[in-house]
Amino acid sequence: MEGTRREFLGLGAAIAGASAAGCLGRDGDLAADDAAGSAPQVDAPVTADDPDYVDVYDAVVPSVARVQTYVESRDTVFGSEEGGPAGQGSGFLYDETHLVTNDHVIGDPDAIRVRATDETWVNASVVGRDPYSDLAVVELDGELPGDPLPVVRELPPVGTRVLVVGAPLGLSGSATQGIVSGRDRTIPASTAPGRFSIADAIQTDAALNPGNSGGPIVTLDGTVVGVATATRGDNVGFGVSARLVNEVVPALVETGSYDHSYMGVSVAPVDPLIAAGNDLPDASGVYVDDVVPGGPADGALRGSDGETTVDGASVPTGGDVIVALDDAEVTDNLDLSQFLALETSPGDAVAVTVVRDGDEETVDVTLGERPEP
């Protein structure tokens, strides 16, 4: 969704330090480590008392691969230098010929090679990339030993046990266990920073380490619920949700890109300060701070026209407060971003209910397409 200076201040506080969970640079080249220890690695001991984890690992791991990118040369402060391995992450079979991974894993490579858990290497090429969801699809010039992994339509509840399979630190076939520890999160898009965020992210306490990015987060029936993307701390990791994967990946396979809906507004959640400064009865809804000139909402929605001070803080005033989109209630930025990401496409006309000058009214906004990052 459209970000703002206020939104990203709040987001930074919540996810500050969130980092890509998996792109190892060339200085972190771990080919030697991988060659020396290619046996499957499991973060916590799996015993006969944990048959579910053993079974799901055995079923999933043949469908997961290490993704290695290469560049022919690099531009440095000293000029152009010889290239080589550029980044590394994980990926999983989406269909017989396509592998899903993260956009930040792929970058802008001159070559891609995928290493299966049977230690065979397969060349690959980029089919599609979407920086706004941090998803990418590569086409394989060969076969992996596993079958495509199914992607769920609806996310499981918090507390559901999951396994993350990938190649952290270049160690192919590694697994870590945990649970779904949160849903409906919003995280920064590492390859499209500053203006937009990834909606509907899934949170897990399973360990995510450099190299896990792009690997599947699966339930114990072997279905994908997320794509490992970012981590903050030892037990706070995030993945692109299966619901967003189902929206974006088919378009990447078919056309090479995905068009995200765009409203053209800068927003902030209505907190107690904004509510007090704008005489709102409740701290609920999404405050419109600015409307992009010439954007989809220009002429329909109204941004700030002043400011006031509440408890020593400067607070914008005069902007619309979005409280519903079509028939869906909007209580915060998450509701807005998820509706735009999962329920709409560019060109859709959306009935936007706002509180303006103390009264509730509805205006129509025809959504546009997000600009290039």
Indicate which residue of 133, 190, 213, 241 is catalytic.
Answer: 213
Nearest to 229 by CA among 199, 208, 258, 245: 208
Phi and psi at 123, nearest 5°, equal: -70, 150
Indicate which residue of 90, 98, 103, 104 is catalytic.
Answer: 104
Phi and psi at 337, nearest 5°, equal: -65, -40
The pair of three-digit structure tokens given for residue 169, joined into one six-digit string: 């630190």
CA angle 302, 305, 310 (to 5 degrees): 115
Nearest to 213 by CA among 68, 31, 84: 68
Q: What 3-state class would DSSP assign to 36?
A: helix
Nearest to 88 by CA among 30, 164, 16, 173: 30
Distance between CA atoms of residues 249 and 129, nearest Å: 9
98: annotated active-site residue = no
Nearest to 223 by CA among 45, 63, 32: 63
Distance between CA atoms of residues 282 and 184, nearest Å: 22
**Terminal-to-terminal C-alpha distance of the chain:** 13
**What residues contact residue 5 under an 8 Å CB cut-off, 6+ apart?**
266
Indicate which residue of 34, 103, 130, 134 is catalytic.
Answer: 134
Residues acting as catalytic residues: 104, 134, 213
